[in-house]
Amino acid sequence: MNPTTESKLSSEKSLKAMKSFSEKYAKNTNTYFCVDPSVTAVVIEGLAKHKDELGAPLCPCRHYEDKEAEV
């Protein structure tokens, strides 16, 4: 993996944390993941990336004018 690719990916720690968070959230709210596992994977990866970059798992599905102000 080259440095450019690495910087675009979340850390393994954040990825595991967001996967666990997402599974618990779905269970506690009686909701479920998308039937297409690739969609779920992209959302969890986005949450983890935001957690690494901003310190908070902002939803990757939303547009933020200023992500840092949202944190």
Q: Where are the domains of the chain?
A: 3-70
CB 45 within 8 A of CB 10: yes
Look at residue 5 and tell me whether its pLDDT is greater than 60: no
pLDDT band per the 50, 70, 90 thresholds, residue 3: very low
As given in the structure block, the two tokens for residue 6 are: 């690495």
Q: Which fold has domain 3-70?
A: Ferredoxin Thioredoxin Reductase (3.90.460)
Asked about 61 being catalytic, the answer comes back as yes
Q: The pTM is what? A: 0.81
Predicted confidence (pLDDT) per residue in 12-69, tens digit? 999 999 999 999 999 999 999 999 999 999 999 999 999 999 999 999 999 999 999 9
pLDDT band per the 50, 70, 90 thresholds, residue 2: very low
CB 51 within 8 A of CB 21: no
pLDDT value at residue 51? 96
The DSSP annotation for the chain comes to --HHHHHHSPPHHHHHHHHHHHHHHHHHTT----SSHHHHHHHHHHHHHHHHHHSS---TTS--S-HHHH-
Which residue out of 25, 61, 68, 70 is catalytically annotated? 61
